[in-house]
Amino acid sequence: MNQTNNEIAKECFQESTNVKKEILESGEYKKIVSMADSIANSIQNGNKLLICGNGGSAADAQHLAAELLIRLKPKNNREGIPAIALAMDSSTITACGNDFGYEVLFERMVETLGSEGDVLLGITTSGNSENVNRALTVARKNKILCLGFLGSGGGSSTELCDEFFLVPSDDTARIQESHITAGHILMELIENILIENKFITLR
């Protein structure tokens, strides 16, 4: 018998909840705390956060960068925190795709915009996105800390990241839902650390 739309909707919410419960029970969420410390330390040393991903993960990268650049919480009116989403304007993306191939887009952005001491957060639900992994590879070569938001077992990205947060699921939608939850937590922790350390001030 076919499921009703109500049943499908309820099942999706339950699956998403189950994945997040597993993250809590396994302690995987603690990696976000460690990542926040590393990113905040980098920013306090005059560096920045770079974020990249494809499709929905590209949107997440832009979303999270905006939380730092503009504002995360209305009550915390403060100066901007340096972050760059590497899925940039359409001209840059299409020029790279046409001239060199999309697989080198993030690699080229890291080579051009990244500096020693920066942090790169690669977001990939499979852990096998070639352009993300190429970016992580060149980042490590340039002494940029490599972090990952991964899923589906982590793929080859696990060997390229200094630390990674792994969602215990093979379902792209469920992975992305946990990634954006983790991303919001990460941004909040970074902001809290920088405020507590008086690196940024509330206005």
pLDDT reported for residue 189: 98
pLDDT tens digits along 49-105: 999 999 999 999 999 999 999 999 989 999 999 999 999 899 999 999 999 999 999
pLDDT at 22: 98
Burial of 185 (0-12, 13-18, 19+ CB in 10 A): middle
pLDDT tops 90 at residue 1 = no
Q: With pLDDT > 70 as the criterion, what percentage of the chain qualifies?
A: 100
Q: What is the mean pLDDT of the chain?
A: 96
> Which whole number is the average pLDDT over 119-140?
98
| Domain layout of the chain by residue ranges | 5-196
Give me the sign of the Cα torsion angle 145, 26, 13, 7. positive
Mean pLDDT score, 186-198: 97
pLDDT over threshold 70, residue 157? yes
pLDDT at position 3 is 87
Superfamily of domain 5-196: Glucose-6-phosphate isomerase like protein; domain 1 (3.40.50.10490)
